[in-house]
Amino acid sequence: MKAHVADWQTRVYCVRIVPEGAPPVRIAGYPIPLIMGNGAEYLTENGYEFSGLGSESGLAAASVDLEGILSAGAISRADLTSGVYDNARVYLFATSWAAPVEDEEPLSLMFWGKTTITDDNSYKAELMGVIDLLSQETARTYGNMCDYTFLDRSLDGTVLRSFRSRCTGPRAAPDGPVFENLLVTGTATAVASQYVFTDAARTEPDDYFGNGAIRFLTGLNAGLKPLEIKSYAAGVIEVHEAFSYLPQVGDQYEMLPGCRKRLTEDCAGKWGNGKNFGGFDDVPTPSQYTQVGRN
């Protein structure tokens, strides 16, 4: 039973996001900011949108989606992409807009989960109930493919978290992959579709840019998000996701090579950086360890 229930006639919902190592973010579902009895200010929810919170008697985990606009709130793109809010505690409570009190009627304690950033500079975060943590993987899993992120930053300049990016740093080979050394620029010389174009000046070997990233610097696609490269051969570049606009001959681009996460072909053979391989290539496959013994 709840110790206290907020006045239903002036009821308003508030959320407090508390990350480790960063100031808390306070949001109120009200047209203007609310000042709590303890002096804490909860910003208006303009630029944010909550889904409903469901309550059940079973042990199923509750979940809430929080949608927001990066330019309108206290949550920035840099903080989201760098993991500042990963596993942050999220407190949801109800109070009265006439006499707001922080945590007057506690509704839920949740944790910041998966976040998706869209092209229109907005994001959607999944908030997980505390019980849902029991079903989450908290350690690395074994697999024959490397699970690290290639390089230490993405093409749009986002700095990656150190745990996920171990291709560079103190343990990297002297001639290992370095962002500044691998970034290239070029110009489209022929266009086949919104997925495929050619730069006849490219001389890199086939698949060098496979699984890499590309974005245009000029033309209609300039300033849009980088796209993942599906394949590269003899100057022909194909992406997984179509460019927003059909590229034009003469459009300039910048591009990074990629890594297909294999030890022999990529980490060791392509980059000479096998000691930073994040996979377990000697782990037997299911077809091997499920074989029945023979005489």
Give per-residue pLDDT as tens, 154-192. Answer: 777 666 554 455 666 555 555 567 777 788 999 999 999
- Residue 233: give its domain's CATH number: 2.40.10
pLDDT in tens, 182-211: 889 999 999 999 999 999 999 999 988 888
Provide the residue type at 259 as one letter. Answer: C
> Is 154 domain-assigned?
no
129/42 same-domain check? yes
Confidence (pLDDT) at 162: 47
Measure Cα distances from 6 to 99, 109, 137 in Å: 10, 17, 37
Q: How far apart are CA 67 and CA 159, in angstroms?
A: 23
Cβ-proximal residues to 155 (8 Å cutoff; 6+ apart), any chain: 183, 213, 214, 215, 226, 254, 255, 256
Same domain, 104 and 216: no
pLDDT tens-digit map of 28-74: 888 888 899 899 988 886 555 555 555 444 444 455 556 554 444 56
Domain-embedded: residue 233: yes
> Which structural domain, as residue segments, surrounds residue 117?
12-135
| 167 inside domain | no
In a domain, 145, yes or no: no
Q: Is residue 269 part of a domain?
A: no
92-130: pLDDT as tens digits: 888 999 989 888 888 878 888 777 776 556 667 777 776
Q: Are residues 48 and 114 in the same domain?
A: yes
Query: From CA 142, how far away is CA 162, in angstroms rounded?
Result: 19
Query: What is the total count of domains within the chain?
Result: 2
In this structure, what token pair is assigned to residue 108? 């839920």
